[in-house]
Chains A and B, each alone.
Chain A
Amino acid sequence: MSRWLGVGAFLVVAGVLIFAGVAVRPFGVPPRTEMDAYFNRFSQPEVAANNAVTAIVFDYRGYDTLGEATVLFTAVTGVALILRRRGK
Chain B
Amino acid sequence: MTVVVRTIARVLLPISLEFGGYVIMHGHLTPGGGFQGGAVAASGLAMVVVAFGAKRLSGKKGLLSALESLGGVAFTALAFLGLGLTFFANVLAGAGGLFGNPVPYGVNPGDLNTAGTLPLMNWAVGFKVLAGLGAVVLLFALFGGEHDR
Hey, which bits of chain A sit against chain B, CB under 8 A? Answer: 41, 44-51, 53-55, 57-59, 62-63, 65-66, 69-70, 72-73, 75-76, 79-80, 83, 85
B117 within 8 A of A: yes
Alpha-carbon separation in the docked complex, A2 to B119 (Å)? 56
B103 within 8 A of A: yes
- Chain A residues lying within 8 Å of B129, measured Cβ to Cβ, are 72
Contact call B132/A72, Cβ cutoff below 8 A:
yes
What is the CB-to-nearest-CB distance from B92 to chain A, in angstroms, rounded to a whole number? Answer: 9
Annotate B96-127 by CB proximity to A: 1 below 8 A, 0 otherwise. 00011111111010100011111001100100
Alpha-carbon separation in the docked complex, A44 to B115 (Å)? 8
Alpha-carbon separation in the docked complex, A72 to B124 (Å)? 13
How many residue pairs, one in A and one in B, have C-beta atoms under 8 Å apart?
112
Contact call A66/B93, Cβ cutoff below 8 A:
no
Contact call A50/B108, Cβ cutoff below 8 A:
yes
B2 within 8 A of A: no
Q: Is the interface of A mostly helix, strand, loop or mixed?
A: helix
With known contacts A54-B27, A69-B128, A59–B90 Cβ distance under 8 A: yes
What is the CB-to-nearest-CB distance from A64 to chain B, in angstroms, rounded to a whole number? Answer: 10
**Top 10 closest pairs, chain A to chain B, by CB:** A49-B115, A49-B28, A62-B88, A48-B114, A76-B132, A48-B103, A83-B143, A48-B93, A44-B103, A58-B118
What is the CB-to-nearest-CB distance from B128 to chain A, in angstroms, rounded to a whole number? Answer: 6
B7 within 8 A of A: no
Contact call B105/A45, Cβ cutoff below 8 A:
yes
- Chain A residues lying within 8 Å of B104, measured Cβ to Cβ, are 44-45
